Amino acid sequence: MSANDHTSAHEEAHTGPIKTPKQLLAAVFFSFVIPIFGIIGLVYYVASANKLAPGAVDTEQAVAQRIQKVGSVEIRDANRALKTGEEVYKAQCVTCHGAGVAGSPKFGDAAAWAPRIKTGFEALWNSALKGKGAMGPQGGGDFDDVEIGRAVVYMTTAAGGHFAEPAAPVAEASATAGAPATAAGPAPEVVAALTAANKTTPAADAAPAAAAGGVVPALYTQVCQVCHAAGIAGAPKFGDKAAWAARIGAGVDALTASAIKGKNAMPPKGGATTASDADIKAVVQYMVNAVK
């Protein structure tokens, strides 16, 4: 090998693939263009649509679950009118109890309800609130505790029960009695009075009451009994002559006016806002007759 051949081979070993200005320009061009197109393609892919995981199904529900909030705040009207037992039954309970689904006692089926009625109102109320067997809490509904209690009374009454219906909680009554009112249910005093009233046998209570005050008005059993049966929150106890003496002196008309407007812990009409003035006067007269 000559000296020139050795020099040429040495120079080629130290040169790169770019040997001409044209090759240099092409290399510079593609080094910029290719990355730019790659970035544009990536941006387009990300922004074009929601991408699913392998094997996932794209549905509106799946999207909603992916973007749902961690928590939520629900604002309710604490002063709304509470629903009646019938309204709650038709809105929620009829789904199962209307046909006796999943072992639930069918509405109006006295034989199916009899053993449950024997357990007492408080046990049925707690079961309805917390859930039992195939029934979820409140049967899957979202009602006030008192509304659920009214639904229990409505269904048991249709099957031969005689439970007193819980009255709506009243802030003033709870404050007077020293117990805070909550939207979750009646004050403890009202629950205790209602439980005590429902633990007794209806037939045993009805006889002395009828003898003392005449025919028992339905309004007394459904509403007034909750407080007046045990003298809750300063209410004069049914049949207590000493407690009623000063009040009777005012006369039935004055007592009726107080009952209609509400007084101290007692709300207007005792919470039975749909009752007529005549109904209120009848129940006042009934309680007055019981202490004469």
Mean pLDDT of the chain, nearest integer: 73
**Average confidence (pLDDT) over 144-154:** 88
Q: Are 156 and 117 in contact (CB under 8 A)?
A: yes
Amino acid at 187: A
**Average confidence (pLDDT) over 134-144:** 78
Q: CA 259, CA 133: separation in Å to the nearest integer? A: 42
pTM: predicted TM-score of the whole model, two decimal places: 0.39
Q: Among residues of the chain, what percentage have pLDDT more than 90?
A: 1
Which has more confidence, 203 or 81? 81
Question: What's the CA angle centered on 283, arms 280 and 284, to 5 degrees?
Answer: 85
CA dihedral over 113, 119, 123, 127, signed as positive or negative: negative
- pLDDT at 172 > cutoff 50: no
**Average confidence (pLDDT) over 241-260:** 86
Which has more confidence, 220 or 73? 220
CB proximity list for 279: less than 8 A, separation 6 or greater: 217, 219, 272
- Domains annotated on the chain, with CATH: 80-163 (1.10.760.10), 188-292 (1.10.760.10)
pLDDT value for 205: 44
Q: CA 280, CA 255: separation in Å to the nearest integer? A: 10
pLDDT value for 143: 83
Residue 216 zone, left/alpha/beta (φ > 0; ψ -120 to 50; rest) = beta
pLDDT in tens, 66-94: 666 555 555 555 567 888 888 888 888 88
- pLDDT at 4 > cutoff 50: yes
The DSSP code sequence of the chain is --HHHHHHHHHHHT--S--SHHHHHHHHHHHHHHHHHHHHHHHHHHHHSPPPPTT----HHHHHHHH--S-------TTSPPPPHHHHIIIIIHHHHTTTGGGPPPTT-HHHHHHHHHT-HHHHHHHHHH-BTTBPGGGG----HHHHHHHHHHHHHHTT--PPPPPPP-HHHHHHHT---BTTB--HHHHHHHHHHHHS-HHHHHHHHHHHHSSPPHHIIIIIHHHHTTTGGGPPPTT-HHHHHHHHTT-HHHHHHHHHH-BTTBPGGGG-TTS-HHHHHHHHHHHHHTT-
* 3-state DSSP of 199-232: HCCHHHHHHHHHHHHCCCCHHHHHHHHHHHCCCH
Range in 5-14, 76-85, 114-123 with the lowest mean pLDDT: 5-14
pLDDT value for 238: 85
- Going by pLDDT thresholds of 50, 70 and 90, the confidence category of residue 50 is low
- CA-to-CA separations, 284 to 107, 131, 211, 220, in angstroms, rounded: 33, 38, 16, 9
Burial class (CB within 10 angstroms; exposed 0-12, middle 13-18, buried 19+) of 91: middle
Residue 211 zone, left/alpha/beta (φ > 0; ψ -120 to 50; rest) = alpha
pLDDT value for 259: 86
pLDDT in tens, 96-118: 888 887 788 898 888 998 999 88
